[in-house]
Structure 1
Amino acid sequence: MVMSRALLRRIVVLAAVLAVALTTAVVGGAGPAGAAARHPWPGRQLLFFNHAYGVFDRTTADAIEHSDYLREFANFQVRTTTGAGGETWTGRYLLGHQTYLELFGIGDVPGKDGELGAAGMGVSTEHAGDLTTVTDRLPAEGVPDPVTFPQTRDFGDGVPVPWFDSVYTTEDYDTFGAWAMEYRPEYFADPRSNTEPARYPGDVGRDRYLPNDYRDHLMRDVTGIELGITRRDLDATLPLLRAGGFVVHADATGAVVRRGGTTIRFDAVPVDQVGVRRIAMSLNRPTGHRHTETIGHSTLVVGPGPSAVWTFATA
């Protein structure tokens, strides 16, 4: 599915795109966090949680890949994708209605992006042209030179198909980054994408992109995610989310980001404590009992009721 931001970073470097570091922010100060108070963005939300990825220990990643329960619980896939420049990556995917998860093990992604605790998050538009608006807002959020990149996908014939346009705030990161994306009409037009017809003019939304096989399983969507990331990575992430219309509450311990159906909790931690910690999911139907599934060094609790929580061990 969608290429992780970690791989986007490497392709940008290979393509010799100039990386411009984000002006360091201090939450509540004169940097991007303070700029948000001076530049509120009224009106409709432009960016929505699309997916998150994380790198887990090999035991947990292998248990996820071979879990019979996950194949019942969600539209679960293990797939290798080829992106721009011939880069390939193999991920374990739990695909929902509008959101999904992309899970790696240590070493599945080269370099430090494949180290334990590395993670990232994609947020996407629902209307064509909204990514341009978000990009134009970033200077007011303390990001004078956003980094943009057009991603492609190779369906196996060696011919790259435009997939999505992306923007992120910096190439200077520790272990986590967020990027904004807008799917391209050429991708929707290709029958191999298996996407749905537009529901309205300019529809580039998540409903259209993701398949409807989620209906045959319990998992519906990601409603919450908690991550430990460094302060520097947090300061580079919040301007993008603010520019996209998310509601951000930041303090000395981290930030809580809401709006659009998914709540994101960032805990500012030392680099040796980073990683995906907890994922909350909605279900297509409520369950009458509690089911607990141990998957490597993680625990998935489903029900009772219309929700599930997946907790991962931290170092």
Structure 2
Amino acid sequence: MVMSRALGRRILVLAAVLAVALTTAVVGAPGRAGAAAHHPWPGRQLLFFNHAYGVFDRATADAIEHSDYLRDFANLQVRTTTGAGGETWTGRYLLGHQTYLELFGIGDVPGKDGELGAGGMGVSTEHAGDLQTVIDRLPAEGVPDPIPFQQTRDFGDGVPVPWFDSVSTTEQYDTFSAWAMEYRPEYFADPRSGTAPAAYPGDVSRDRYLPDDYRDHLMRDVTGIELAITRGDLDSTLPLLRAGGFVVRAGAAGAVAVRGGTTIRLDAVPVDQVGLRRITLSLNHPTGSRHTETIGHSALVVGPGPRAVWTFATT
């Protein structure tokens, strides 16, 4: 159910994109070629937080995998996925209503994406065709040549099924990148995907994609996430969020993106300080007391009330 961000880049699909010209512009973000202009894109939001992943020390990853508390708290799954090119990755998935988390140990993902502190984030559309609108907006955000690609999934019979189309702003990253994604109709049509029927024309939503098993647990969704990333990776991520309709407040220390139910905080740090730092979760119902669960080098604090906060030790 997840993409290892480097896998899709190896099957790049060359595509032409249209430049978008608007009359209103503000100062561009540092580090982007051509002094990008930021536009207050009108209308509905196109991209929403889908999932994020982080790579942790082996003790923390193993503790997550074998935690009885987590299995009761959330719909926790541990599985190995085969994606494009036959490459595989093994993750621990906490699946909510519309959002989820993917947690790795060192080496669970191929290459540098499996190194301590590495991470990534997917933001997705809810309506078929919105990804192309995002792609069309990116030149106005200082990304003249967006990089589209398609990810596939092998359900075990050796036949890749189109999974989702995606776009990123660059192939060059330090330890983190973000991508926009839109689920493919072929994936929804395959009964092995376990997805729900469309609720409206062009439904490619997170709600349709994720199972309803979250209802049997306390965790509901990711409402906030804090990631420490390099300045270069931050500059590559913000144009994608802006083009998708997030409201982005950026400064010298990093940026905060809001809108759509999940607050995304990205702190700019040196490369030796990167990593997934904190996650805020909504609950299906409030708790009357506070519970702290130590899981490896992390602490999950649940309640009191309708939320939980999961904090990870710095690398």
TM-score (norm 2): 0.93
Question: What is residue 233 of structure 2 aligned with on the other side?
Answer: 233
Question: What is residue 269 of structure 1 aligned with on the other side?
Answer: 269
- The Cα of 1:7 is off from its aligned counterpart by 3.2
The CA distance in 1 between the partners of 2:218 and 2:4, in whole Å, is 25
The CA distance in 2 between the partners of 1:260 and 1:34, in whole Å, is 27
Question: What is residue 283 of structure 1 aligned with on the other side?
Answer: 283
Amino acid of the residue matched to residue 254 of structure 2? G
Question: What is residue 205 of structure 1 aligned with on the other side?
Answer: 205
The CA distance in 1 between the partners of 2:179 and 2:32, in whole Å, is 19
Question: What is residue 65 of structure 2 aligned with on the other side?
Answer: 65
Q: 1:30 to 1:291 in 2, by over 3 A?
A: closer
Q: 1:28 to 1:236 in 2, by over 3 A?
A: closer
Amino acid of the residue matched to residue 89 of structure 2? W
Amino acid of the residue matched to residue 57 of structure 2? D
Runs of 4+ in 1 over 3 A off after TM superposition: 15-18, 26-37
The CA distance in 2 between the partners of 1:33 and 1:205, in whole Å, is 34
- The Cα of 1:3 is off from its aligned counterpart by 1.3
Amino acid of the residue matched to residue 7 of structure 2? L
Question: What is residue 47 of structure 2 aligned with on the other side?
Answer: 47
The CA distance in 1 between the partners of 2:252 and 2:63, in whole Å, is 36
- The Cα of 1:5 is off from its aligned counterpart by 1.2
The CA distance in 2 between the partners of 1:303 and 1:178, in whole Å, is 30
What CA deviation, in whole Å up to 9, does each residue of 1:45-66 have, x standing for no partner?
A: 0000000000001110010011
The CA distance in 2 between the partners of 1:203 and 1:230, in whole Å, is 35
Question: What is residue 292 of structure 1 aligned with on the other side?
Answer: 292
Question: What is residue 24 of structure 2 aligned with on the other side?
Answer: none
What CA deviation, in whole Å up to 9, does each residue of 1:185-209 have, x standing for no partner?
A: 1110111111001010000000000
Q: CA RMSD in A?
A: 1.8
Q: Contact 1:248–1:256 at 8 Å: present in 2 too?
A: yes
The CA distance in 1 between the partners of 2:7 and 2:103, in whole Å, is 14
1:107 aligns with 2:107: yes
Q: Contact 1:54–1:117 at 8 Å: present in 2 too?
A: yes
- The Cα of 1:4 is off from its aligned counterpart by 2.4
Q: 1:177 to 1:294 in 2, by over 3 A?
A: same
- The Cα of 1:211 is off from its aligned counterpart by 0.1
Question: What is residue 7 of structure 1 aligned with on the other side?
Answer: 7
Amino acid of the residue matched to residue 47 of structure 1? L
The CA distance in 2 between the partners of 1:148 and 1:32, in whole Å, is 19
The CA distance in 2 between the partners of 1:85 and 1:241, in whole Å, is 28
Q: Contact 1:33–1:238 at 8 Å: present in 2 too?
A: no
Match of 1:225, SS?
A: strand
What CA deviation, in whole Å up to 9, does each residue of 1:219-267 have, x standing for no partner?
A: 0000000010000000000000000000000000000000000001011
Amino acid of the residue matched to residue 116 of structure 2? L
Question: What is residue 129 of structure 2 aligned with on the other side?
Answer: 129
- The Cα of 1:308 is off from its aligned counterpart by 0.2
Amino acid of the residue matched to residue 174 of structure 1? D
Q: 1:193 to 1:16 in 2, by over 3 A?
A: closer
1:79 aligns with 2:79: yes
Match of 1:59, SS?
A: helix
The CA distance in 1 between the partners of 2:288 and 2:80, in whole Å, is 36
Question: What is residue 35 of structure 1 aligned with on the other side?
Answer: 36
What CA deviation, in whole Å up to 9, does each residue of 1:90-118 have, x standing for no partner?
A: 10000000000000001111221111100
Amino acid of the residue matched to residue 195 of structure 2? T
Q: Aligned pairs, how many?
A: 304
Match of 2:299, SS?
A: strand
Amino acid of the residue matched to residue 179 of structure 2? W
Amino acid of the residue matched to residue 121 of structure 2? M
Amino acid of the residue matched to residue 184 of structure 2? R
Amino acid of the residue matched to residue 36 of structure 2? A
Question: What is residue 92 of structure 1 aligned with on the other side?
Answer: 92
Q: Contact 2:168–2:179 at 8 Å: present in 1 too?
A: yes
Amino acid of the residue matched to residue 114 of structure 1? G
Amino acid of the residue matched to residue 117 of structure 1? G
Between the aligned residues of both structures, percent identity stands at 84
